């Protein structure tokens, strides 16, 4: 009997889901995509905190993008995302942590505030810009003098998996001026040429919003 494919509970626009889609694609893991609506009450049975993504792999259920990707790193060793070199490994983890702890959640609060009517559009966008710019400045500082193709070398690694969706959101949703961040701007152009990154883009998902007419 063939093994069942992992099931990814995802939302097209979610940058957290986008990270996991990239990792799955890089590792060549075929999976079933299950779209989660923001108001899907049944999803709480899968992930009590109700955030996407979550991954069901056999009898193992993992939620949170970083936890999922670290699980994938152990389970599916093809295209390793963390190098053996401790200094480069630490840099990968630090960049991933800045994105998933110091940028994306704070950015998300401002977006939710706008949706719930607690913030006006200008105030919400100002908060989003503040946290994205703060995080991007820190990452540029960490990568000072970097001349590699990607963030921590000439192969795509964990840092790149986290950076690509955050930069994509900054460019396409929040009008971030990437010319202020030359390393990140250069990496983003390279990411968009990689098939695994292209396949994972929000607009290429089954639940992608329809383009405006």
Note the pLDDT of residue 108. 81
* pLDDT over threshold 60, residue 213: no
- The angle subtended at Cα 135 by Cα 191 and Cα 207, nearest 5°, is 50
Question: How many alpha carbons fall within 13 Å on the CB side of residue 56?
Answer: 15
In the predicted structure, residue 157 carries a pLDDT above the cut 90? yes
- Which contiguous run of DSSP H or E holds residue 76? none
Alpha-carbon distance of 6 to 12, in angstroms, equals: 18
Element (H, E) at 10: strand 7-10
- Which alpha helices (H) appear in 30-181, and where do they start and end? 65-75, 86-97, 104-115, 121-142, 158-172
Q: Where in the chain is the domain with CATH 3.40.30.10?
A: 7-80
pLDDT at 153 over 90: yes
115 vs 49, higher pLDDT? 49
Tokens 């990239």 belong to which residue?
A: 22
Q: What average pLDDT does range 160-176 have in this prediction?
A: 97
Q: Which residues contact 140 (CB under 8 A, 6 or more apart)?
A: 181, 182, 183, 184
Determine the Cα–Cα distance for residues 194 and 64; give it in Å rounded to an integer.
24
Mean pLDDT of the chain, nearest integer: 93
> Locate tokens 């202020």: which residue?
180
pLDDT(154) > 70: yes
pTM equals 0.94
What is the band of 150 on the pLDDT scale with cuts at 50, 70, 90?
A: very high
Q: Tell me what pLDDT residue 118 has.
A: 77
Long-range contacts, stretch 74-77, CB < 8 angstroms, 24+ apart: 76/27, 76/28, 76/29
Query: Of 21, 52, 161, 145, whose CA–CA distance to 96 is shortest?
Result: 161
- Statement: residue 202 has pLDDT above 70: yes
End-to-end CA distance of the chain: 46
Over the stretch 98-138, which tens digit does the pLDDT of each residue have?
A: 999 999 988 886 666 666 677 888 888 898 999 999 999 99
What CATH code is assigned to 7-80?
3.40.30.10
CA distance 199 to 54: 19
CATH classification number, 86-199, choose in 3.30.70.141, 1.20.1050.10, 3.30.110.30, 2.30.31.10: 1.20.1050.10
Task: Point out the least confidently predicted range of 92-96, 111-115, 153-157, 166-170.
Answer: 111-115
- The tokens describing 89, both together, are 């490994």
User: pLDDT higher for 126 or 53?
Assistant: 53
Question: Where, residue-wise, is CATH 1.20.1050.10 in the chain?
Answer: 86-199
Q: Given a cut of 80, is residue 80 above it in pLDDT? A: yes
pLDDT: is 178 or 108 the higher one? Answer: 178
Asked if the model's pLDDT at residue 147 lies above 70, the reply is yes
């Amino acid at each position: 009997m063939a093994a069942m494919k992992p099931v990814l509970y995802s939302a097209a626009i979610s940058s957290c889901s986008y990270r996991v889609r990239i990792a799955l694609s890089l590792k060549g893991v075929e999976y079933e995509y299950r779209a989660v609506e923001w108001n899907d009450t049944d999803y709480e049975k899968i992930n009590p905190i109700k955030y996407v993504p979550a991954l069901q792999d056999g009898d193992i259920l993992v939620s949170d993008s970083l936890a999922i990707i670290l699980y994938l790193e152990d389970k599916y060793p093809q295209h390793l995302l963390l190098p053996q070199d401790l200094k480069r490994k630490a840099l990968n983890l630090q960049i991933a942590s800045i994105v998933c702890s110091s940028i994306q959640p704070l950015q998300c609060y401002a977006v939710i505030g706008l949706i719930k009517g607690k913030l006006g559009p200008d105030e919400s966008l100002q908060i989003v810009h503040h946290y994205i710019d703060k995080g991007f400045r820190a990452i540029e500082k960490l990568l000072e003098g970097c001349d590699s193709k990607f963030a921590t070398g000439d192969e795509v690694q964990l840092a790149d998996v986290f950076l690509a969706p955050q930069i994509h959101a900054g460019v396409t949703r929040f009008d971030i001026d990437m010319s202020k961040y030359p390393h990140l701007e250069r990496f983003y152009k390279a990411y968009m040429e990689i098939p695994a990154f292209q396949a994972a883009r929000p607009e290429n998902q089954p639940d992608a919003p329809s383009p405006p007419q």
